[in-house]
Amino acid sequence: MNERIIIFDTTLRDGEQSPGASLNVYEKLEIARQLAKLKVDVIEAGFPVSSPAQFEAVKRIADESEVIIAGLARTKEIDIKSAYDSLRNAKHPRIHIFLCTSDIHILGKFADSKYGLTLEEKRKTILKMSVDAVTYAKALVPDVEFSAEDAGRTDIGYLSEVIEAVIEAGANTVNIPDTTGYTFPTEFGAKIADLKKRVKNIDKAIISVHCHNDLGLAVANSISAIQNGARQIECTINGIGERAGNASLEEIVMALKVRNDICNYYTDIDITEIYNTSRMVSGFTGIIVQPNKAVVGENAFAHESGIHQDGVLKSKQTYEIMTPESVGVNKTKIVLGRHSGRHGLKSRLGELGYHPSEEEMQKIYEAFLVLADKKKEIFDDDLRVLMGDEIYKEEELYELQYLHVNAGTDVIPTATVRIKSNEKMLQESSTGDGPVDASFNAIERALELKLVVESYNVRSVTSGRQALGEAIVRIRNGENSFTGRGTSTDIIEASAKAFLQAINQYLLFTKASIEFHQDELAIK
Ligand code: KIV
Ligand code: ZN
């Protein structure tokens, strides 16, 4: 008999923890709406206590959503209270509490003697903190989830004790994360089966799993967990997340669908929305989907060799185990142009999952016309990039007004930039190793900054000579990295815009953290 699997999407929380993948509130709202259209069961919208921007995003999503919205919290009262406040207007709020349970984490993170002198004492403290936190959260909302961080490396006896105690305290869902992506599918599946045997009250809660992909086993581990009793899967679109990422939603859902003959479970996901969701997340986060990525990669349905092409032409089933159309890949390209009109543009955007307001629509239409002047045919991917770049931009401290570059085979590359800041204009010139380096140097000079460029990528968004070029620049400052994206039919301009956007992100983050810490000090 087919059993239903609950899909808990954590793209907006763990996914956003991918290096450089910060999303603003508007982008998160659009992704949350698209996730609802995809029919996920739970959206983990963020970690409210961690910053005012996180709080605001969770609140805005909770205010308008019909699905379950989860907010993450440590076991601290301030975290749980903040999660509760952000979820106050949610139709279905869930507080998601986590605390580590493995010896490695306990000894590493709770070394202070105030948590106990021996491992045994520290374990007791962790158990009590978990139970107290769940009890407190349960008094605020009916739906509480508890995660035993690093459960993959936790001793099964202690893990069972913690899980039993938090269920007793009222946890409706108990999550078993393989936080470090360390386990093997057989081992992880056995751990879930073992928990089912050892924990007396396990039937009172849903078993969830949350697998990371450090060894490329996140999806395999999740499926093995399902086969051994897990009924909720935590996953992200395109598998983004901390380090090597999380289990990929689209891969799990399609594996269950395609191999239902041997794995009798189903999800409520509307698989025709998979491709749109994947593109939207990639566009907003700036994390490019690798071409050979299962289900949503550019090559996932491309048949290159003659033998394969011949086979597919004779019968698709020879080399295709699912069709591109089933996951929403539109083979017939819809092309818009200068004469498509506002209405045509709005309706295509709606089909791609975007919901601009009237005011935003005015901005996108103007940007669309500028682009349509530069390139005759505008494809879906051009629109996705336009939406990512133009519409949901937050307050910008600096804006590129003018760029002039002199480069060639026999000249020293030189760039001049003019940057608008409030009503002030900053102008500077610089040389560099090439035109991009010269532009970056000129921007740094104008802003009197020196930054580490951690990564820089340029790609064409659509095919052909008139394709839009998209540049993605990641800069680092200490523990934090910031990504900027810029597009133009001129890749030097796209690069300069991307660099400036990353700088804007960095400066806005710094400003917000200073204000946040000032608030914290004021509270104390
Ligand atoms: O990987 C992890 O353990 C987590 C928890 C917060 C669920 O992300
Ligand atoms: Zn995680």
Q: What CA–CA distance (Å, rounded) separates 26 from 29?
A: 5
Give nearest CA residue, ligand 1 atom 2. Answer: 179
Query: Domain for residue 200, yes or no?
Result: yes
Query: Domain for residue 404, yes or no?
Result: yes
Whether residues 44 and 176 share a domain: the answer is yes
Query: Domain for residue 484, yes or no?
Result: yes
What's the gap in Å between 16 CA and the centre of ligand 1?
Answer: 13
The CATH number covering residue 273 comes to 3.20.20.70
Q: What CA–CA distance (Å, rounded) separates 197 from 372?
A: 63
Whether residues 351 and 381 share a domain: the answer is yes
Ligand 1: which of 212, 232, 235, 246 to mutate, judged by most atoms within 8 Å of the beta carbon? Answer: 212
What's the gap in Å between 423 CA and the centre of ligand 1?
Answer: 44
- Taking alpha carbons only, the member of 201, 218, 200 closest to residue 209 is 218
Give nearest CA residue, ligand 1 atom 1. Answer: 179
Whether residues 173 and 26 share a domain: the answer is yes
What pLDDT digit, counting tens, does each position of 496-523 carry? 999 998 999 888 877 766 665 555 444 4
Domain boundary among 326, 359, 391: 391
Residues in the ligand 1 pocket, defined by CB under 6 Å: 14, 98, 147, 149, 175, 177, 179, 210, 212
Whether residues 386 and 413 share a domain: the answer is no
What pLDDT digit, counting tens, does each position of 388-409 carry? 766 666 667 899 999 999 999 9
Whether residues 481 and 372 share a domain: the answer is no
| Burial tier of 418 (Cβ tally within 10 Å: 0-12, 13-18, 19+) | middle
* Helix segments in 39-118, DSSP class H: 52-64, 77-87, 103-109
358 pLDDT higher than 70: yes
Q: What is the pLDDT of residue 22?
A: 74
Query: Domain for residue 508, yes or no?
Result: yes
Domain boundary among 270, 285, 300: 285
> Which long-range contacts (C-beta less than 8 Å, at least 24 apart) are formed by 81-86?
82/48, 82/49, 82/55, 83/48, 83/49, 83/58, 83/137, 84/137, 84/140, 84/141, 85/48, 85/55, 85/59, 86/46, 86/48, 86/55, 86/58, 86/59, 86/62
Ligand 1: which of 75, 94, 98 to mutate, judged by most atoms within 8 Å of the beta carbon? Answer: 98
The CATH number covering residue 470 comes to 3.30.160.270
Query: Domain for residue 55, yes or no?
Result: yes
Ligand 1: which of 178, 179, 208 to mutate, judged by most atoms within 8 Å of the beta carbon? Answer: 179
What's the gap in Å between 1 CA and the centre of ligand 2?
Answer: 31
pLDDT band at 377 (very low <50, low <70, confident <90, very high): confident
Query: Domain for residue 113, yes or no?
Result: yes
Percent of the chain scored above 70 by pLDDT?
95
260 pLDDT higher than 60: yes
Whether residues 158 and 264 share a domain: the answer is yes
334 pLDDT higher than 80: no
Three-class secondary structure of residue 302 per DSSP: coil
If one counts every other C-beta atom within 10 angstroms of the C-beta of residue 403, the result is 22
Q: What is the pLDDT of residue 524?
A: 38
Whether residues 31 and 150 share a domain: the answer is yes
- Chain mean pLDDT for the chain: 91
What's the gap in Å between 211 CA and the centre of ligand 2?
Answer: 7
If one counts every other C-beta atom within 10 angstroms of the C-beta of residue 159, the result is 24
Ligand 1: which of 95, 149, 159, 235 to mutate, judged by most atoms within 8 Å of the beta carbon? Answer: 149
What's the gap in Å between 210 CA and the centre of ligand 1?
Answer: 7
In the Cβ-directed half-sphere of 434, how many Cα atoms lie within 13 Å?
5
Domain boundary among 285, 304, 334: 285
- Taking alpha carbons only, the member of 242, 239, 237 closest to residue 19 is 242
What's the gap in Å between 189 CA and the centre of ligand 2?
Answer: 18
What's the gap in Å between 84 CA and the centre of ligand 1?
Answer: 19
Ligand 1 atom closest to 150 (CA) = 3
**Exposed e or buried b for every residue in 423-455, given b needs 16+ CB within 10 A?**
eeebebebebeebbbbbbbbbbbbbeeebeebe
Whether residues 369 and 462 share a domain: the answer is no
What's the gap in Å between 116 CA and the centre of ligand 2?
Answer: 27
DSSP-assigned letter for residue 410:
S
Query: Domain for residue 486, yes or no?
Result: yes
Q: What is the pLDDT of residue 379?
A: 87
Q: What CA–CA distance (Å, rounded) separates 521 from 524?
A: 5
pTM over 0.85: yes
Q: Containing domain of residue 240, as a range?
A: 3-285
Whether residues 471 and 511 share a domain: the answer is yes
What pLDDT digit, counting tens, does each position of 4-60 carry? 999 999 999 999 988 767 788 989 999 999 999 999 999 999 999 999 989 999 999
Number of domains in the chain: 3
Which ligand sits closest to the CA of 97? Answer: 1
Whether residues 268 and 407 share a domain: the answer is no
What pLDDT digit, counting tens, does each position of 63-113 carry? 999 999 999 999 999 999 999 999 999 999 999 999 999 999 999 999 999
Q: What CA–CA distance (Å, rounded) separates 137 from 260?
A: 37
Over residues 303-317, the mean pLDDT reads: 74
Which ligand sits closest to the CA of 242? Answer: 2
Query: Domain for residue 472, yes or no?
Result: yes
Whether residues 97 and 171 share a domain: the answer is yes
Token digits of residue 416: 């001049």
Whether residues 103 and 142 share a domain: the answer is yes
Ligand 1 atom closest to 149 (CA) = 3
Residues 6+ apart with CB under 8 A from 371: 378, 382, 386, 468
